[in-house]
Structure 1
């Protein structure tokens, strides 16, 4: 399909979503989105995503105990914790530091913490992935980031921070939606949805080729797999999953 077709369909979406664009212009949408809409959406979307990816996540996080420090502790930092959808997959006794740029997930996060009391929750930091200065260098054994790299301001900067806070031999776990194959209809619709989706869903970018950022990040080991997560009526089917070792 031609670029003109993409632009025409984008314009149609803008018309359909015009109330949100107007609220954004007036400076109303972003505060409402971050405080009310996005936390509600993430908690409910994560429940659907969780059903589709539970087995994958169980397999992904199964080797977390292998990255315990010499003292036998496992210190884990999660970037973009949201409502704590990953807590159930962490091993008992794991010491978790939660971070998120949006501080408005308290209710969902508290529910997840109450359900997962096999973990030790050390602290919650309001922080962007690109700036984890509150976390000392080389202080954690594992970093987890799921459905977050799509919306960070700087993917390369975030991965540099991941490597900084990891101890040598520590691991970075990821599960992210990514751009579809450029010759596919999925990619065509990702291009169509892109600007409106990014506005509605707090900066989420549909066409990032995140596997390239990971390949260029100079981890000593990268285990990465391309998968499809069937989420009806959404353009975020293509995903990558895996872990990298510092």
Structure 2
């Protein structure tokens, strides 16, 4: 009975989102989404996200300098930097490398860089998290991803690249929305919304059990917590945050 209800609700949502599905079928939605809709949407929504999640982000990034090299310098690589919403939380004078597969974030990113002069910006690399070949092996102290692994094509592939570019003893710091408990109503609604959600929000999945992939990767230490984020949208309230040491 529950499966029939889920199917019915999915069909209803797909009917409501029919214009987007039609544009997608015609091959018009993805370029429009990547160039216009998603950069605009993300720039606006991250203001709200940072306001509601500021305490969690401050706690998460507070100890980044513990992973600096012997000279006290810290090199940070952020995967999926988007419009630079995390810049304000990073420690002063760290060398910063930005990567994102969407080149259309460049304008918003440049604006964020100008507003965060406490960082030493090194380069912006247009690349997916699964292919960071422009970043040398064992060359960064910290890798950061926030609300990124929900939309990558291969979570395990991203984590392998994270381990490759990290120095020994370096840290991967993460904050990601994830699947809810499978017995919960939230998980049911994640199932209902998932097809339309992924289409509208550039491949973002509300149902990934990302912690499983992190725990399987070859990290020497993992500190990971599950939380209910103080967000209005129930579908993305389940989060994980923490760090993993190479």
TM-score range for the pair, normalised by the shorter chain length: over 0.9
Matched, 1:139 2:139: yes
Secondary structure of the corresponding residue to residue 105 of structure 1: helix
Scaled by the length of structure 2, the TM-score of the pair is 0.98
Matched, 1:99 2:99: yes
| Conserved? CA contact 2:53–2:230, under 8 Å | no
Query: Per-residue CA shift, 1:157-178, capped at 9, x if unaligned?
Result: 1000000000000000000000
Secondary structure of the corresponding residue to residue 22 of structure 1: helix
Q: Which residue of 2 aligns with 1:13?
A: 13
| Conserved? CA contact 2:186–2:234, under 8 Å | no
Matched, 1:154 2:154: yes
Q: Quickly say closer, same or farther: Cα 1:13–1:56, change in 2 above 3 A.
A: same
* Structure 2 runs not aligned, ≥5 long: none
Q: Which residue of 1 aligns with 2:57?
A: 57
The offset of 1:218, in angstroms, is 1.9
| Conserved? CA contact 2:215–2:222, under 8 Å | yes
Question: Equivalents in 2 of 1:150, 1:173: separation in Å?
Answer: 15
Question: Equivalents in 1 of 2:92, 2:44: separation in Å?
Answer: 26
The offset of 1:107, in angstroms, is 2.3
Question: Equivalents in 2 of 1:68, 1:198: separation in Å?
Answer: 37
The offset of 1:235, in angstroms, is 1.1
* Structure 1 runs not aligned, ≥5 long: none
| Conserved? CA contact 2:171–2:244, under 8 Å | yes
The offset of 1:71, in angstroms, is 2.4
| Conserved? CA contact 2:46–2:85, under 8 Å | yes
Question: Equivalents in 2 of 1:74, 1:40: separation in Å?
Answer: 31
The offset of 1:231, in angstroms, is 2.2
Q: Which residue of 2 aligns with 1:120?
A: 120
Question: Equivalents in 1 of 2:222, 2:168: separation in Å?
Answer: 15
Query: Per-residue CA shift, 1:123-162, capped at 9, x if unaligned?
Result: 0000000000000000000000000000111000100000
Secondary structure of the corresponding residue to residue 96 of structure 1: strand
Q: Which residue of 1 aligns with 2:32?
A: 32
Q: Which residue of 2 aligns with 1:110?
A: 110
Bigger mean CA offset, 138-147 vs 43-52: 43-52
Question: Equivalents in 2 of 1:194, 1:126: separation in Å?
Answer: 27
Question: Equivalents in 1 of 2:108, 2:129: separation in Å?
Answer: 20
Query: Per-residue CA shift, 1:76-102, capped at 9, x if unaligned?
Result: 000000010111111111000000000
Q: Which residue of 1 aligns with 2:45?
A: 45
| Runs of 4+ residues deviating >3 angstroms | none
The offset of 1:234, in angstroms, is 4.7
